[in-house]
Structure 1
């Protein structure tokens, strides 16, 4: 993936009418293409490394499988991209020499990676379910109805803790590919797989990296459960999810510790 800048894989310029967020795709055994809007913010760096995570998997899957097996399951397709975000947060924390910057890196881990993937996409999935219920009931809808559904989902989730205005109701429009099939559901699964893979790399670097590369190279050659097992995670048990929850809890504890260090 190193040639991505020189070979201009990224459509990075913000333009009128351009879709928000990030997106990556790759023709078989050609280089990937990345769509995003670059505005020089740290969140853009997270978006870029996220999409480069997809690009790396696309390349390795294509180079190690026939065209019939190169496409990976949607169930875990967001794991490599999220894994890259965890690498970025870890890099930012370890490169910093002061507690404020270290805390900043971990805060971004929570807000850019985990909040977006665990909360934002959960709400989109809840919204999508309500739309499907309308369709199954034979009802029709337009933008006004979709606004109402999204606003209701947000109000139910946040209760009286957050004021949900009419602008918030428009957020279902953000990125259309979230609703391709049941794509909004894949982020939570991908986040758990990525977190367990990252933990494995931290605790056993050589073995963890080797297993992660096997996973990236596997494409669609195995069923999703056995593909994920290549990383050292067994999602037929609740252990990876519990490890992810503990990882989040440890991150919060470390942020608190950095805060105490700053205040002292």
Structure 2
């Protein structure tokens, strides 16, 4: 009988492949000490008079106290969440993460009065205070943002009430996370070498790239057997999440959850709709590409599990983590010596948690706050896709690094809308590097195929998700309760529209919505698509060494939240209020599709 290949436990992972969280707190005792101090700070904040500030110095003093509290709460939360994500089965860190969630909620409650108090001030008088006080003037954009949301900020009592409910509102997402990361039990499958292994998120992704069709078909069918089994549970958690979004939007006097979510970044709803309209306009390009895939794979029927395997067999290039780091540095060198020096810092100082282990949160992300390193979570597999993931998450981390080292705390973060541009610019730079640095036709064909698949997965697929997410919110808002049949039926039809007649929309794909964690992140997914399209524009300018392209890009990375997102990216050269950047992205897709057809 074959020996089943099992994931290592957390303790079995080599230290050099783990992130070093001692730069946040040396140990858990130090965390507990800071946690206790933060609780005292919250109590002091709760005892404040909550009065409208009468002069510049009083206002500045309050801001400083709130910032001190926020920085402590941020640091505590990131330490707890990173430890928990490294092993979600560890009860100690589950508890620590939950305690920090409650602490954060209490901190929000204690400070919830402040912005309503600001909005009771006369805006002109506030401007005069800033004109007279240089340090307070550094908060001008912050106050502009506060006043831009004035119609949707409630009085202090109701703000405090909403803040007190935040941990309850997180329940659907938390239940979903525990289900998918810890409680779901996936069957054993075989890889193309006949090796038995436990199916997991990371293993599934790798098996779908297998050149053995039976391997990917078996992985596909067995994975969705599990999600289908729990379809009603997942429909309940997603329904709960959508209800939370719609309830909060209604409470804050928004027309919809979409309007509420986009307004957080001052993004007009037209940006969302323009994306969907433009992508639907270019669906024939996707249909053309999948038809080519069907032809090159010599298949009578192209199934959903055939969409990720390379068109030209096994990849002619593969990377273990060590070689991937070296290749990433070469590719990103076009961004300049300073940028590369910080990439090396990330690689050399244990900012990355590399391998998949039992209980580890799936997927990949970059996470950190103003007073910590920008850490990266990976679930490494030796393939080209994971090299792209490494440069993608490094794009996020470098965005954080440059922002935190060039902006004060109040602007030391950035919107998700801008974040996905930084990460996918790195991806496009890597594609350009790989195509330019090989004469091997097989490598070029593979990379072109990879780019087209990446475009498909980022712009077409994420826009498909955006349509589904908007549908779910609209249905619930209109009084139509969400259930597994409604969600699955709609998703299945949407899938047919996107991929066209040359792809069999297998019945299992109807349950794909159940395994997408980003549906619990409140209108998040569309930003992958808009970000990737903008990144194509930016990366072409950088790789072509256009005048000021690199300087403008680095300025964008350093800007943080010092201006509204659309203004920040416009200064980098992309106007995202228009469809031009999307049209340009589809032109590049078509050009590279043409190039692939010529090489074939």
TM over 0.5: yes
Q: CA deviation at 1:62?
A: 1.2
CA separation in 2, counterparts of 1:159 and 1:116? 15
Aligned to 2:503: 162
Q: Does residue 581 of structure 2 align to residue 243 of structure 1?
A: no
Q: Give CA-to-partner distance per residue, 1:48-107, whole Å, 9 cap, x none.
A: 111111111011111111222122223232111111111111121122122221221222
3-state SS, counterpart of residue 34 of structure 1: strand
Aligned to 1:211: 552
Paired residue for 1:99, among 413, 416, 441? 441
Aligned to 2:383: 41
Q: Is the 8 A contact 1:20 1:175 kept in 2?
A: no
Higher deviation after alignment, 240-249 or 124-133: 240-249
Q: Is the 8 A contact 2:432 2:543 kept in 1?
A: no
CA separation in 2, counterparts of 1:170 and 1:17? 23
Q: CA deviation at 1:19?
A: 4.3
| Structure 2 CA distance for partners of 1:157 and 1:105, relative to 1, 3 Å | closer
CA separation in 1, counterparts of 2:371 and 2:393? 17
Higher deviation after alignment, 121-130 or 139-148: 139-148
Q: Does residue 402 of structure 2 align to residue 60 of structure 1?
A: yes
Q: Which runs of 5+ in 2 are unaligned?
A: 1-342
Aligned to 1:125: 466
Q: Which runs of 5+ in 1 are unaligned?
A: 260-264
Alignment of 1:1-264 (within 5 A): 1-112=343-454, 114-143=455-484, 145-205=486-546, 207-259=548-600
| Structure 2 CA distance for partners of 1:153 and 1:235, relative to 1, 3 Å | same
CA separation in 2, counterparts of 1:27 and 1:197? 26
Q: CA deviation at 1:214?
A: 0.5
Q: Give CA-to-partner distance per residue, 1:168-210, whole Å, 9 cap, x none.
A: 1232233423541211111221112211111211333462111
Q: Is the 8 A contact 1:19 1:175 kept in 2?
A: no
| Structure 2 CA distance for partners of 1:143 and 1:14, relative to 1, 3 Å | farther
| Structure 2 CA distance for partners of 1:174 and 1:209, relative to 1, 3 Å | farther
Higher deviation after alignment, 230-239 or 213-222: 230-239
CA separation in 1, counterparts of 2:351 and 2:484? 34
Higher deviation after alignment, 24-33 or 237-246: 237-246
Q: Is the 8 A contact 1:107 1:255 kept in 2?
A: yes
Give the number of aligned pairs: 258
CA separation in 2, counterparts of 1:129 and 1:242? 23
TM-score of the aligned structures, taking structure 2 as reference length: 0.41
User: Larger relative CO (CA 8 A, sep 6+): 1 or 2?
Assistant: 1
